[in-house]
Amino acid sequence: MTAATSILPAGLYATLPLWPLFGALLVGLWIALRVKPERAHWPVVLGVLVSAALAVTLFFDLQRQYAAAPETHAGGFVYSVYNWISLGQPASLEHNQWLAVNFYFDGLTGVMLLFVTVVSLMVVLYAVGYMRDHHGHPERGYERFFAFLGVFVFSMITLVLAGNFVLLYLGWELVGLCSYLLIGFYYGKPAAAAAAKKAFIVNRIGDFGFALGIFSLYWFLRPYVQPGENPLDYAVVFKYAQHLATAQIGGMSQATLVSLLLFCGAIGKSAQFPLHVWLPDAMEGPTPVSALIHAATMVTAGVYMVARCTPIFGLSPLALDVVLAVGMVGAVLTATMAMAQYDLKRILAYSTISQLAFMFVGLGCGVPDSAVFHVFTHAWFKALLFLGAGSVMHAMGGIIDARKFSGLRHVLPQTYAVMWVGCLALAGFPLLAGFWSKDEIVHAAFERHAAVGIIMLATAGLTAYYTFRMFFLCFHGPLRLPAEAGEHPHESTTMIRPLWVLAGGAVLAGYLGVSFGGPASESFLAIFRPHGLIHDFLHHSTIGHPEHGHGGLWLLYLSAGVALAGIALAWLRYGAAPVADPDARALGGLWRLWHAKYFVDEVYDALFVRPLRALGRLFFNTDNYGVDGVIWLVTAVPRGLGFALHYLQRGALQAYALSMVIGLVAILVLWSWWT
């Protein structure tokens, strides 16, 4: 991005993250001054609005520039704010090395920012309606909620804009913090407090690997860094990344080690197997939070990071295979878990993990642009689905269990309509957003290996099935309402409006990733050809030009057919929203295993939590009895000596005289013997 083609100065784009933060700080002031919470959402809404406006402008700015110079796909533009942490002055270099606060703008940034800010804006607007009771009074903690949301948007934008690994880590941890604070928003509920803690700690397990990845990057690349270059800056790291491919460490290439360590972070943040356990529990948070953080934006950070580090991951086939394997296992496991749940939000949470796993499969197959495209489309329809579920929850007085209600299309017509769109998009219904991006990944999977392709296609079928199982259970069949719903359950217009915008996104977002025209015989339905604007953008980023196979069109038709089949099957089994679950009967033990989430939580508890706590207890007891015991023994020597000697000093004059005489005699004897 050069000044000539840009209508706004880069310095202004660098303020992108700050606006929501300002908003949050204002709300903080609001809380401190104890102003009425009624309108506390405004600073954050405005802050996110400004950021969204800037992000959209940036997107078009970049687009103009890429259109003007389609062939240049050099690195992005770096805007340095200030030098943050000193890394000291290595003996070999004249200059100080710094970790700077700097931002990196390229096509990937543009795409990510576009949906991060716009989806955030919709969620914030929705929350204005959601965080109130039926009379329109704000809930307890209303201001706090918006302050946290503001901080979250700030953190997420920082994560995406970061120009070096440490700033990325900053955003990475801060989104984790916001997730912690927002999952625990209803902190009075023990389940919410526990879920918040779990989310943060499981994320930190991943971050542990991530941090080691950053340390190793510094370690490996230090010899190559020239004066004036800051190690750990993207630009510097990717410039010298080639060296990592050849150098060996512990039987693997350095690139493999770094990639695997960084990938640990992605597993934690994007809730992939085996660290997926926190995401379903995270549904204890308010629904807008689930939509924003645990579906649309934060959890995609792992995918973003791996895509950003394509120059490193691409050097290591082994690392890509691991990414692929983790993705495949996660996709299948969580899709099956989603088959056997009743909690709307949890079903959506599992589907999120499963969809993220799709993205990792894309990354593992070497098509990061397709993975990011799926991130992009997924954000719209997943936010929509969650917010729709939130609308249901709001109307049902906080009840979200699909067994407790059915036939809601009669009372929530607008929610019903937008949920149709969202579910179709998630199921991969042709021409909706999810279809295009998911298909690219399935394509790449088939290119990689037929078995991978078939597994992914089957998972896509499962996705369609469980999505519509949930949908039909909820909206179809006879009208049944829980007692908590009250007399007249209804929808709030404040909440519905943003849903329509997201529904628009769920329909249209896919078209940013396809192009039109060309020979009819090579196009889907004679119109659409894969790869569009988004891919152009991503080619102007660190992703570069991944090789895509030219798989046949038959696959597009096949995957459309699979999606339709899944929906149809769901209709057959659940179309009437039966009270007794037909799957639970038919699948028996397998279904119960799925329902119990494969007992992963229990296994972790037995394998890690209990042993570590036992070790802690052992250490503490060692402190109290072991170490102090040794000290007691050491001090026992002088104490014992003193005790023994005190018999000599009991104040009995005769004893003193006796001992004096004995001593004198002894000395005399010795003396005479000596001489």
Partner 1 sequence: MDVLALNLLIFLPLVAAVLVWTLPERRESLAPKLALAVGCVVLFAGAWLWPRLPAAMGDRGAGALVGELKADWIAVGNRDGTSEAATTLTNGFVLRFHVGLDAISMPLIALTALLVPLSIWCSFTAIRKRQREYYAWLLALTTGMFGVFAARDLLLFYVFFEFTLVPLYFLIGVWGGPERRYAANKFFLFTFTGSVLTFAGILYLALRAAQIDHCSVIDFDLLRLSALSLKQLTTAEQSLLFLAFFAGFAIKVPLFPLHTWLPLAHTEAPTAGSVLLAGVLLKLGTYGFLRFSLPMVPAGTLEWARVMGGLAVAGIIYGALCCWVQRDVKKLVAYSSVSHLAFCMLGMFSLVPVGLSGSVLYMVNHGLSTGALFLVVGMLYERYHTRDLDALGGLARQMPILAFFFVLFVLSSIGLPGLNGFVSEFAVLLAAFNSEVLGRWYGALGATGILLGAVYMLYATGKLLFGPVKEPAGTPDLSAGLKRDLTLREIAILTPIAILVVVLGIAPRLVTDTLDPALQTQVLARVQEASALAAAVAGGAP
Shortest Cβ 609–partner 1 spacing (Å): 9
Assess whether the previous peptide bond of 582 is cis (omega < 30° from 0): no
Task: For residue 309, give the nearest of 442, 120, 455, 172 by alpha carbon.
Answer: 172
Options 204-212, 315-323, 473-481, 643-651: segment touching partner 1 (CB under 8 A): 204-212
Residue 632 interacts with partner 1 (CB under 8 A): yes or no: no
Say if strands 252-253 and 248-249 run parallel, antiparallel, or are unpaired.
Answer: antiparallel
Residue type, 605: D
Distance, CA of 320 to CA of 259 (rounded, Å): 9
Q: What is the DSSP code (8-state) at residue 184?
A: G
Nearer to partner 1, 630 or 661 (CB): 630
CB 121 within 8 A of CB 97: no
Nearer to partner 1, 565 or 631 (CB): 631
Shortest Cβ 90–partner 1 spacing (Å): 7
Binders in 89-108 for partner 1, by CB under 8 A: 89-91, 96
Residue type, 389: A
Nearer to partner 1, 88 or 663 (CB): 88
Task: For residue 550, give the nearest of 438, 447, 434 by alpha carbon.
Answer: 447
Residue 222 interacts with partner 1 (CB under 8 A): yes or no: yes
CB 132 within 8 A of CB 138: yes
Options 202-210, 344-352, 498-506, 559-567: segment touching partner 1 (CB under 8 A): 202-210
If you count them, how many residues does the chain have? 675
- Cβ atoms within 10 Å, residue 46: 16
Task: For residue 444, give the nearest of 368, 335, 350, 340 by alpha carbon.
Answer: 368
Residue type, 589: G
Nearer to partner 1, 188 or 589 (CB): 188
| Total of residues contacting partner 1 (CB under 8 A) | 52
Nearer to partner 1, 220 or 380 (CB): 220
Distance, CA of 120 to CA of 380 (rounded, Å): 10
Shortest Cβ 88–partner 1 spacing (Å): 3
Residue 193 interacts with partner 1 (CB under 8 A): yes or no: yes
Say if strands 77-86 and 98-105 run parallel, antiparallel, or are unpaired.
Answer: antiparallel
Options 9-17, 331-339, 487-495, 621-629: segment touching partner 1 (CB under 8 A): 621-629
Distances (CA, A) of 214 to 412, 416, 548: 49, 46, 30
Residue 252 interacts with partner 1 (CB under 8 A): yes or no: no
Question: Which one among 22, 39, 139, 197 touches partner 1, defined by CB under 8 A?
Answer: 197
Residue 262 interacts with partner 1 (CB under 8 A): yes or no: no
Residue 33 interacts with partner 1 (CB under 8 A): yes or no: no
Shortest Cβ 353–partner 1 spacing (Å): 22
Binders in 152-171 for partner 1, by CB under 8 A: 166, 169-170
Which residues have a Cβ under 8 Å from the Cβ of 508 and sit 6 or more positions away?
433
Which residues have a Cβ under 8 Å from the Cβ of 603 and sit 6 or more positions away?
none
Nearer to partner 1, 183 or 502 (CB): 183
- E strand or H helix at 102, and its extent? strand 98-105
Binders in 53-92 for partner 1, by CB under 8 A: 83-91
Shortest Cβ 656–partner 1 spacing (Å): 31
Residue 626 — left, alpha, or beta (φ > 0 → left; ψ -120 to 50 → alpha)?
A: alpha
Residue 566 interacts with partner 1 (CB under 8 A): yes or no: no
Residue 201 interacts with partner 1 (CB under 8 A): yes or no: yes
Residue 14 interacts with partner 1 (CB under 8 A): yes or no: no
Options 210-218, 270-278, 287-295, 336-344: segment touching partner 1 (CB under 8 A): 210-218
Residue 194 interacts with partner 1 (CB under 8 A): yes or no: yes
Shortest Cβ 215–partner 1 spacing (Å): 4
Shortest Cβ 497–partner 1 spacing (Å): 32
Nearer to partner 1, 205 or 235 (CB): 205
- E strand or H helix at 66, and its extent? helix 42-68
Q: What is the DSSP code (8-state) at residue 14?
A: T
Residue 18 interacts with partner 1 (CB under 8 A): yes or no: no
Nearer to partner 1, 155 or 559 (CB): 155
SS3 label, residue 99: strand
Question: Which one among 46, 56, 174, 584 touches partner 1, defined by CB under 8 A?
Answer: 174
Retrieve residue 206's tokens.
Answer: 């991943």
Considering only CA atoms, give the Rg of the chain: 31
Q: Give the Cα-Cα-Cα angle 650, 651, 656 (nearest 5 degrees).
A: 95
Distance, CA of 264 to CA of 273 (rounded, Å): 11
Question: Which one among 410, 592, 610, 617 touches partner 1, defined by CB under 8 A?
Answer: 617
Which residues have a Cβ under 8 Å from the Cβ of 312 and sit 6 or more positions away?
237, 238, 241, 244, 255, 258, 259, 262
Say if strands 248-249 and 98-105 run parallel, antiparallel, or are unpaired.
Answer: unpaired
Nearer to partner 1, 228 or 552 (CB): 228
Shortest Cβ 196–partner 1 spacing (Å): 8
Residue 248 interacts with partner 1 (CB under 8 A): yes or no: no
Options 399-407, 445-453, 494-502, 608-616: segment touching partner 1 (CB under 8 A): 608-616
SS3 label, residue 668: helix
Retrieve residue 452's tokens.
Answer: 């991978």
Question: Which one among 10, 53, 205, 458 touches partner 1, defined by CB under 8 A?
Answer: 205
Q: Around 33, how many Cα atoms within 13 Å sit in the side-chain half-sphere?
A: 10
Question: Which one among 449, 486, 623, 639 touches partner 1, defined by CB under 8 A?
Answer: 623
Q: What is the DSSP code (8-state) at residue 406?
A: B
Residue 641 interacts with partner 1 (CB under 8 A): yes or no: no
Shortest Cβ 58–partner 1 spacing (Å): 24
Which residues have a Cβ under 8 Å from the Cβ of 95 and sit 6 or more positions away?
89, 227, 228
Question: Which one among 11, 188, 589, 651 touches partner 1, defined by CB under 8 A?
Answer: 188
Residue 45 interacts with partner 1 (CB under 8 A): yes or no: no
Nearer to partner 1, 8 or 247 (CB): 247
Binding site for partner 1 (CB under 8 A): 83-91, 96, 166, 169-170, 173-174, 177, 180, 184, 187-190, 192-194, 196-197, 200-201, 204-205, 207-208, 211-212, 214-216, 218-219, 222, 612-613, 615-617, 619-620, 623, 627-628, 631
